[in-house]
Amino acid sequence: MKNKNKLRFGTQALGTNIRVSVNKMRRIIDRIRNSSYEEALVLLEFMPYRACHLVSQIVLSAAANANTNFGWNKSDLFIGEACADTSTYLRRFRPRAQGRGYPIKRPTCKVTIKSNSLKK
């Protein structure tokens, strides 16, 4: 029964605590959602954003998980679900006047990519 659920939902890869804001990550994720594996890699290679390299590593990891765990061909894969959620803030303090500290909150995000096979 557990194996049936894995076949229905495919495999997934997670990227946690990525130092990019969620809005910047979502504009990349929305572009590759419901595309094939090869098309997603080509799109990520030619988009002009810094976070594309990080997302392409997660896509490659999801494809490797599908190949290793289920024996699926990478050419038959497509990106079923892709989502970016907020994660914890990276907190820093900047010194200010009269001994005060000013907090700096740097956003991080968590990316989940689920891949499915066209041939099951």
For the chain, the structural domain boundaries read: 2-117
- Whole-angstrom Cα distance, residue 115 to residue 15? 14
Q: Is 77 exposed, middle or buried (0-12, 13-18, 19+ CB in 10 A)?
A: buried
Q: For residue 44, what pLDDT is reported? A: 94
Q: What is the pTM of this model?
A: 0.84
H helix runs in the chain, sequence order? 2-9, 22-32, 37-46, 52-70
Which ranges of the chain have pLDDT less than 70? 1-9, 120
Q: For residue 1, what pLDDT is reported? A: 45
CATH class as words, domain 2-117: alpha beta
Q: For residue 120, what pLDDT is reported? A: 56
Contact 11/66 with Cβ under 8 angstroms? Answer: yes
Contact 15/85 with Cβ under 8 angstroms? Answer: no
Contact 28/52 with Cβ under 8 angstroms? Answer: yes
Q: Which helix (H) or strand (E) holds 85?
A: strand 77-86
Q: For residue 10, what pLDDT is reported? A: 81
Q: Are strands 101-106 and 90-95 parallel, antiparallel or unpaired?
A: antiparallel
Average pLDDT, the chain: 89
